[in-house]
Amino acid sequence: MKILIVDDFSTMRRIIKNLLRDLGFTNTSEADDGKTAFPILQSGDFDFLVTDWNMPGMTGIELLKAVRADPKLSSLPVLMVTAEAKRDQIVEAATAGVNGYVVKPFTAAALKEKIEKIFERLEAG
C-alpha cells in the first residue's frame, strides 16, 4: 500500500505519516503542494492519497478534481484532512468524489476510523 501525503505544513505531514505507520502503513511519500503532488501521483503507483485543502499552488480540491479527471488516477481513494469545516466545502469535496473528510484538529482515533472506513467500503466494492 503506497500512500501520498500532501500538506504545505511539514509538521502535519509528519503527524499523518506517524499515524499511518501506527496503522501498519509504512510505505509513504510526501508532497508540500497539489502542484508537486499531481505529477508524483501520475508517475508512481499510489494506492491512497491524503491531502490538505488550503495550499498555495494547487489546492486540495483542485488536486482532487485533477485526479478524478485523469483516467489513470480516477479511482484513487482520497482522504481530505483540513481545517475547512464549512458545509459547502464538505459538499463540494463530496461532489468532487472525495472518499473521506477529516476536520482539523483531529484525534488519532478519528483519523484511523476514517481510513479504515474508506478501505472497508472499497473492499465491499
Partner 1 sequence: MELDSQPFGSVLKEKAQLVLGGLEQGNVGTAVQELLHINDAKTNSRYRQIGKITRGLHNAIGNLEFSNGERAGPKRDVQSRVGYVINLTQDAANRTMDLAEEATPIAAELGTASNALREDGRKLANRELSADEFRELYKKMADSLIFSEEKSNQLHVNLTDIVVTQGYQDLSGQVLLKIVNMLNATEGDLVNLLAMAANLQDVSCIAEPDPAVESWVLGR
Contacts of 25 (CB under 8 A, 6+ apart): 1, 3, 48
Q: Are 5 and 31 in contact (CB under 8 A)?
A: yes
DSSP letter (8 states) at residue 85: -
| H or E element, residue 40 | helix 34-43
Nearest approach in angstroms of CB 15 to partner 1 is 6
Q: Would you call 123 helix, strand, or coil by DSSP?
A: helix
Position among 1, 69, 83, 94 found at the interface with partner 1 (CB under 8 A):
83
The stretch among 17-25, 29-37, 61-69, 95-103 that binds partner 1 (CB under 8 A) is 17-25
Q: List residues bridging with 97 in a β-sheet.
A: none
Q: Are 2 and 13 in contact (CB under 8 A)?
A: no
Size of interface with partner 1, in residues (CB under 8 A): 15
Toward partner 1, which CB reaches closer, 12 or 118?
12
Position among 1, 2, 18, 121 found at the interface with partner 1 (CB under 8 A):
18
Does 20 engage in binding with partner 1 (CB under 8 A)? no
Position among 12, 58, 73, 118 found at the interface with partner 1 (CB under 8 A):
12
Binding site for partner 1 (CB under 8 A): 7, 9, 11-12, 15, 18-19, 22, 54, 83, 104-108
